[in-house]
């Protein structure tokens, strides 16, 4: 059996308590409501694109190499006693980099000197015999030839015995250490690669049908993809021969002296050479404004009402300074957003649902 609660009129302060409760709830929920409330759209940085006069270039892939580099090889046979440097170490000209046990070379020098002494004594004896007419002139000629051969062998052994120390021919940086202490060194075996870091160049391979274009180039620019760094070439040098297998010629672009000192430019680094062949008017946009989603390349184009809208475009080559040419999808006079992230958020808020 259900019991009915008798109706009682509200107490005089009841409405005030309810109102206070609602006020407290609203105050406690205020931070959460503030977080969910739509924020004002941030100001969107834009630019108006126009045709610009830029250099017309022919690009070619290249690799960095040091102008002054050397691979130091052993000239004596012996065990490596000490390796004093490692890759990345800076060395001074004349500094000892590696020491080889040259006892075998020293034994060879002693044997060569002994042979030289015997040849000299034999030559003097034969001269005396010829003076007394006991032997022929042919015997003297043979003794003189033997003496000259022994003298040459002794000189070579003496020069070889002095190469037990591997020294730096110039001040630079060790690129590689190709042998360790305890290993055997033989004449001709590479031991250490050294380069001078302040003087660099890039080398590009150019197809023979583009050689005439490259030879006419009066200016060269060097791009280092990934870092956004561009440098001007101080000199362009086209080597005089063409590879018979690939039908390409090697072209060197020299960096200004000291330009590579603090830029992290080291031998073996990938680069792209741009040979300036003329000028043209192109539609350029900053690389940071481009949206890449898989194979899609697009820009946020700002409408006359100030709303960013994503539009697919076709891009061309990267120009000096990092700007990219737009081949299709954009017209001069249109505005683009410079920050695709902000533009994307703003476009999502204003997109009709």
- Domain covering 78-100+164-195 assigned CATH 2.40.50.100 in the classification: yes
pLDDT grade, residue 42 (50/70/90)? low
Share of the chain above pLDDT 70, in %: 81
Rounded to a whole number of angstroms, the CA Rg of the chain reads: 40
Classify domain 59-68+198-279 at the CATH topology level. Answer: Elongation Factor Tu (Ef-tu); domain 3 (2.40.30)
DSSP state of 143: H
- Distance, in Å, from the CA atom of 212 to the CA atom of 219, rounded to the nearest integer, reads 14
Q: φ and ψ at 303, to 5 degrees?
A: -75, 165
DSSP three-state, residue 249: strand
Classify domain 103-163 at the CATH topology level. Answer: Helix Hairpins (1.10.287)
Query: Looking at 196-323, which runs of residues are DSSP E strands?
Result: 200-207, 219-224, 229-242, 248-255, 270-285, 291-293, 296-302, 308-312, 314-318
Mean per-residue pLDDT, 67-74: 92
Q: What is the pLDDT of residues 49-66, one digit of tens each?
A: 999 888 788 889 999 999
Q: What is the pLDDT of residues 158-205, one digit of tens each?
A: 655 556 788 999 999 999 999 998 898 888 899 999 999 888 999 999
Q: Are 353 and 263 in contact (CB under 8 A)?
A: no
- Distance, in Å, from the CA atom of 177 to the CA atom of 185, rounded to the nearest integer, reads 13
What pLDDT shows up at residue 40? 52
Least confident of 29-33, 135-139, 291-295, 320-324: 29-33
The side-by-side arrangement of strands in the sheet containing 190-195 is 69-73, 190-195, 172-177, 90-91
Alpha-carbon dihedral 234, 239, 240, 242, rounded to 10 degrees: -140
Domain ranges of the chain: 46-52+281-350, 59-68+198-279, 78-100+164-195, 103-163
- Distance, in Å, from the CA atom of 50 to the CA atom of 332, rounded to the nearest integer, reads 5
Of 338, 326, 327, 329, the C-alpha closest to 302 is 338
What pLDDT shows up at residue 63? 95
What pLDDT shows up at residue 119? 80
- Distance, in Å, from the CA atom of 258 to the CA atom of 255, rounded to the nearest integer, reads 8
pLDDT grade, residue 263 (50/70/90)? low
CB-based contacts of 318, cutoff 8 Å, min separation 6: 223, 287, 324, 325
Six-digit token string for 166:
């591997």
DSSP state of 44: P
H-type alpha helices, 14-69: 14-36
Q: What is the pLDDT of residues 118-157, one digit of tens each?
A: 888 887 887 888 788 777 888 878 888 888 887 887 776 6
Q: φ and ψ at 56, to 5 degrees?
A: -90, 125
Neighbours of 26 (CB within 10 A): 10
Q: What is the pLDDT of residues 235-256, one digit of tens each?
A: 999 999 999 999 999 999 999 8
Classify domain 46-52+281-350 at the CATH topology level. Answer: 2.40.420
pLDDT grade, residue 27 (50/70/90)? very low
What pLDDT shows up at residue 18? 34
């Amino acid at each position: 059996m259900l019991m009915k609660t008798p109706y009682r009129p509200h107490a005089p302060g009841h409405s005030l308590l309810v109102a206070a409760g609602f006020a407290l709830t609203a105050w406690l929920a205020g931070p959460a409501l503030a977080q969910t409330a739509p924020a004002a759209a941030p100001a969107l940085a834009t630019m108006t694109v126009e045709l610009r006069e830029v250099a017309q270039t022919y690009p070619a892939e290249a690799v960095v190499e040091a102008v002054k580099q050397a691979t130091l090889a052993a000239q004596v046979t012996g065990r490596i006693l000490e390796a004093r440097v490692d890759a990345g170490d800076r060395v001074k000209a004349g500094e000892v980099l590696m020491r080889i046990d040259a006892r075998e070379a020293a034994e060879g020098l002693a044997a060569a000197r002994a042979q030289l002494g015997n040849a000299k004594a034999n030559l003097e004896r034969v001269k005396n015999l010829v003076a007394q007419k006991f032997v022929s002139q042919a015997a003297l000629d043979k003794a003189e030839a033997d003496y000259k051969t022994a003298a040459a062998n002794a000189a070579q052994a003496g020069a070889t015995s002095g190469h037990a120390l591997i020294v730096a021919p110039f001040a630079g940086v060790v690129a590689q250490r190709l042998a360790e202490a305890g290993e055997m060194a033989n004449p001709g075996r590479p031991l250490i690669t050294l380069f001078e870091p302040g003087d660099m160049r890039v080398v590009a391979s150019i197809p023979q049908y583009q050689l005439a274009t490259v030879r006419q180039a009066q200016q060269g620019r060097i791009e280092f993809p990934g870092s956004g760094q561009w440098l001007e070439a101080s000199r362009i040098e086209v080597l005089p021969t063409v590879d018979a297998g690939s039908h390409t010629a090697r072209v060197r672009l020299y960096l200004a002296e000291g330009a590579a000192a603090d830029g992290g430019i080291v031998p073996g680094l990938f680069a792209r050479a741009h040979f300036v062949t003329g000028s043209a008017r192109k539609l350029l946009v900053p690389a940071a404004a481009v949206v890449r989603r898989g194979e899609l390349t697009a820009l946020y184009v700002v409408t006359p009402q100030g709303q960013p809208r994503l539009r697919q475009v076709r891009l061309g080559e990267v120009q000096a300074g990092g700007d990219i040419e737009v081949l299709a999808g954009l017209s001069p006079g249109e505005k683009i957003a410079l920050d695709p992230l902000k533009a994307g958020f703003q476009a999502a808020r204003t997109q009709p649902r």
